[in-house]
Amino acid sequence: MCWTTWSAAISISEAFQSFLSNIAVDNTETIALRYGEITRALNIRFRDTESKTANTLQVGSYGRGTAIKGISDLDILYIMPSRSWPDYKDGRQLQLLRDTADAIRARYPNTDVRVDRLVVQVLYARFQVEVQPVFEEADGSFTYPDTSSGGSWKTTRPREELRAISDADMAKNRNVRRLCKMVRAWKNKHGVAMGGLLIDSLAHRFLNGTGYYDDKSYVYYDYMARDLFEFLGSLPDQEYFAALGSGQRVKVKKKFQKKARNAHKLCLEAIEANEAGNRNEKWRKVFGRGFPAAAEEASKAFILEGNYQARNTEEIIENKFPVDIRYPITLDCEVRQHGFRSFLLRSMLLDRLPLFTRKSLRFFVAEHGIPGRFQLYWKVLNRGTEAVRRDCIRGQIVLGNAGLEKTENTMFRGEHVVECYAVQNHVVVATDRIRVPIQEASED
């Protein structure tokens, strides 16, 4: 290997190490404190002990060791004493959840505690813990309550999932959990509504299907990301995939294959980039701001284009809220001009129809899968030489109205972008963006 290639490889290794360090969970002490408080409350109620660790199992992304910074949905199983089974077995699933909620409220009356269909939700600032009371079976599985359709008991096998990812991570040179974290950064950047167990199961399947990365580490993570997104993009469109370890069905919230194929293309561009700064910026298009920027680009107060300079007024959503994408949302735009027929912008982009100045734009949420109430924030970012010449970059993040829409006008040419962010419990849980490529209208 020549010196130039070796130097680039070292740089790639350092960049991915920094990336994974940047997206690491940064509130582990707070999470441990909350887990301990909940466990203690339940042990006092059901076992008359004050242990903060006994009789619980941390599951979900945090339990599997695949969570990243901004995680807002934590999961814990509380293992009920077997002697309590007769109290709940005969159609008393809802009562078990209510008793669990009451035990937490009794110890922490100022905390927002709610009973949901399968779990008890404990809401803290910027994250929630979902507590699921379960009964352990002889085979290591757990029976849990489902309150829908009159109530029933179902089975879950999280220990098999925890064991599978731990074993694979050791066998694959610790690459499995790191890859899972990288995919989470991608889904947060691009608003991909993939559940954590689905991400972990598919990353696990990908690495188990190849031995190429068994002895590789950070210096090959550019290739590993490329191959992973190619794998995701080629998967069949189906409603469920099998979970790692347990084989249980994991529901697909929304198709992810197209965005994975786009990510694969971006990876190819990043790998082909020779200049380090340009390469890092291309990886940031894949994974977001967690990937380190080139030193000279780390903090830009001004944007330069041609002979013009503009103030960089863009605001970054991660500086306002944690981002933990869990639900789908689709943004569209109605293009209107007085006396003319209106069009939808996404259809125009698909048909490659031009968007001219002097139009009225009504951006709106076409559909979403977000349960409950949420607030919608907007960002309108102007790009191109004309935006810089006018010193009109914009990019401020503003709270929208109750109608989930925003009206703008096409003032000048450029590759503009509009983004929306759905916020629940001070966390961004869904996001989408739409390109607004404006051309100058003719004088005819």
- The upper half-sphere exposure of residue 191, i.e. CA atoms within 13 Å in the direction of its Cβ, equals 19
CA distance to 102, 160, 198, 249, per residue, from 81 (Å): 17, 21, 31, 28
pLDDT at 301: 83
Do 149 and 186 belong together in one domain?
no
pLDDT at 440: 81
pLDDT 10s digits, 331-344 = 999 999 866 788 99
- pLDDT-derived band at 226, boundaries 50, 70, 90: very high
pLDDT at 3: 36
pLDDT 10s digits, 31-80 = 999 999 999 999 999 999 999 999 999 999 999 999 999 999 999 999 99
Do 172 and 143 belong together in one domain?
no
Residue 323 lies in a domain: yes
Domain boundary among 156, 173, 195: 156
pLDDT 10s digits, 1-29 = 443 444 455 589 999 999 999 999 999 99
pLDDT 10s digits, 105-128 = 998 899 999 999 999 999 998 889
Enter the tokens of residue 117.
């269909």
Do 261 and 305 belong together in one domain?
no
Do 430 and 310 belong together in one domain?
yes
Residue 8 lies in a domain: no
CB 414 within 8 A of CB 438: yes
Residue 326: CATH number of its domain = 2.60.40.10
pLDDT at 2: 40
pLDDT at 90: 93
Residue 281 lies in a domain: no
Into how many domains does the chain fold? 3
Do 213 and 326 belong together in one domain?
no
Q: What percent of the chain has pLDDT over 70?
A: 95
pLDDT 10s digits, 279-315 = 999 999 999 999 998 765 545 788 888 888 999 999 9
Domain boundary among 156, 191, 217: 156
Residue 53 lies in a domain: yes
Domain boundary among 156, 189, 206: 156
Name the residue range of residue 35's domain. Answer: 28-156
- pLDDT-derived band at 103, boundaries 50, 70, 90: very high
Do 340 and 365 belong together in one domain?
yes
**Rg over CA atoms, the chain:** 24
Do 305 and 265 belong together in one domain?
no
> Span 392-406, mean pLDDT?
93
CB 111 within 8 A of CB 105: yes
pTM listed for this prediction: 0.91
For 130-159, b/e burial (b = at least 16 CB within 10 A) is bbbbbbbeeeebbebbebeeebeeeebbbb
CB 297 within 8 A of CB 277: yes
Enter the tokens of residue 416.
């503009």
